[in-house]
Amino acid sequence: MIKTYLSKTSIFKAFAAVCIFGISISGCTSKKKTPMETTDTTENELTMLVGTYTSGTSKGIYSYRFNEENGTSTPLSEAEIENPSYLVPSADGKFVYAVSEFNNTQAAANAFAFNKEKGTLQLLNSQQTGGEDPCYIIASGNNVITANYSGGSISVFPIAKDGSLLPTSDIIQFKGTGVDKERQEKPHLHCVRITPDGKYLFANDLCTDQIHKFIINPAANAENKEAFLKEGSPAAFKMKAGSGPRHLTFSPNGHYAYLINELSGTVIAFEYKDGDLKEIQTIAADTVNAQGSADIHISPDGKFLYASNRLKADGIAIFNIHPDNGMLSKAGYQLTGIHPRNFIITPNGKYLLVACRDSNVIQVYERDADTGLLTNVQQDIKVDKPVCIKFVP
């Protein structure tokens, strides 16, 4: 059943020792979860946001304080919004942009004002994506971009001066099919990433086994109405048929790119230079043919790469990165909770947090800086259907 939210006037309630701040605008509320806990940040504490699916008990987006020295977390607030399966904070940490993943006209991009100290979010507005099942969202300069999985498209939204989103300035629709008749029946855009030099946008299509390339116009904004994206040359990089490109990440030095393929379960390593990708290696992350590989990240020191697998042997594949040529070698494998769709590494590199959707938990693992291997420190964060974790700058 589709929920309907009515606009409400903001309500403030004061108690003797507890202050709960709630805001409800067009289906979004934000309230403190632990009012007796201090919200002052310390040197070792990060502000963390968690996106979820809301088909169960989750209300939407949750904020926490996470201590990157001891691995503990403190709940801060929650914001009511449906299916915020992916989100991203703005570069200055003042705004948060999140998708509402639906396979109908409810598919949307949402803009929030964010109070980093208190962890509270206030919905500014929502805009339809014009493509079904938006599953990835990024902010770049004066624009927000979504990858729309079932819509087979990417959508561009200019950002207004108050941080809200204007209607789409461009919806780029893709065409084609792949060799897997069940999962590559039509374009499935799964990820959009800005290259380290800031000049290009890469868009991964799980269906056609391609990474599409676009040239970024950094001057594009709501006032001049210039196009933000222009087709690059080449227009796309082709992967092996049936690979299913999902997520892409870059090495800290910007010299290499790494692609996790959902269907083949492989990681492809590339040399990256000025918008070009040169394939240098393919290595298996999924060795049981689960066809559910998901997320990929590199440790801040650039020494290790991690890739998650779902559906069978759910866990994280761990690789060494050779410092001279970017090539990968296997370092280990860490079993996790069920369906590790997304994970993140703390900026200091000490912890890796895994969003286990079907175990309804975020697991916290300590990283060995020398071996890259992971140890569960039993500091689980309980939340229903977590699927996205982000730290706020």
Mean pLDDT for the chain overall: 92
Residue 83 above 60 pLDDT? yes
Full strand arrangement of the beta sheet holding 386-391: 11-14, 19-25, 28-32, 73-80, 60-67, 45-52, 386-391
The yes or no reply on domain 51-80+252-392 and CATH 2.130.10.10 is: yes
* Helix, strand counts (H, E) of the chain: 0, 32
DSSP state of 357: G
Lowest average pLDDT, out of 39-53, 274-288, 305-319, goes to 39-53
Average pLDDT for 204-223: 97
Of 77, 73, 80, nearest in space to 32 by CA: 77
State the average pLDDT over residues 31-60: 77
State yes or no: pLDDT of 27 exceeds 70. Answer: no
Q: Is the pLDDT of residue 1 over 60?
A: no
Give CATH for domain 89-109+126-238.
2.130.10.10
Q: What is the pLDDT of residues 302-328, one digit of tens each?
A: 999 999 999 999 999 999 999 999 999
Around Cβ 376, how many Cβ atoms within 10 Å?
A: 15
The answer, yes or no, to whether residue 14 has pLDDT greater than 80, is: no
Query: Would you state the pLDDT for residue 42?
Result: 76
Position 122 scores a pLDDT of 98
- Give the pLDDT confidence score for residue 249 in this predicted structure: 98
Contact by Cβ (8 Å): 369, 301? yes
Cross-strand pairs, 276: 273
Nearest-angstrom CA–CA distance, 299 and 344: 9
Give dist(CA 307, CA 168) in Å, integer. 33
* Residue 323: exposure state from Cβ atoms within 10 A (0-12, 13-18, ≥19): exposed
pLDDT average, residue stretch 143-153: 98
- Residue 9, pLDDT score: 36
Provide the b/e sequence for 256-272 (b: ≥16 CB within 10 Å): bbbbbbbbbbbbbbbeb
Residue 6 has pLDDT above 60, yes or no: no
357 phi, psi to nearest 5 deg:
-55, -50
pLDDT band at residue 136 using 50, 70 and 90 as cut-offs: very high
pLDDT tens across 220-260, in order?
A: 999 999 999 999 999 999 999 999 999 999 999 999 999 99
Do residues 38 and 76 lie in contact, with contact meaning Cβ atoms separated by under 8 Å? no
Quick check: 338 pLDDT over 60? Answer: yes
Write phi, then psi, for 358 (nearest 5 degrees): -90, -5
Taking residues 1-26, what's their average pLDDT?
35
Query: In angstroms, rounded to a whole number, what is the distance separating the alpha carbons of residues 151 and 213?
Result: 18
Confidence category of residue 41, pLDDT binned at 50, 70, 90 = low
Indicate if the pLDDT at residue 31 is higher than 50: no
Q: Residue 246: left (phi > 0), alpha (psi -120 to 50), or beta?
A: alpha
Residue 65's nearest CA partner among 57, 54, 77, 53 is 77
Cα–Cα distances (Å) from 99 to 8, 82, 250, 362, in that order, read 22, 9, 23, 20
CATH 2.130.10.10 in the chain: give the residue spans: 51-80+252-392, 89-109+126-238
Backbone phi and psi for residue 391, each to the nearest 5 degrees, phi listed first: -100, 140
Q: What is the pLDDT of residues 368-379, one digit of tens each?
A: 999 999 999 999
**pTM of this structure:** 0.90
| Site of tokens 């140890």 | 375
Task: Return d(Cα 128, Cα 50) in angstroms, integer.
Answer: 22
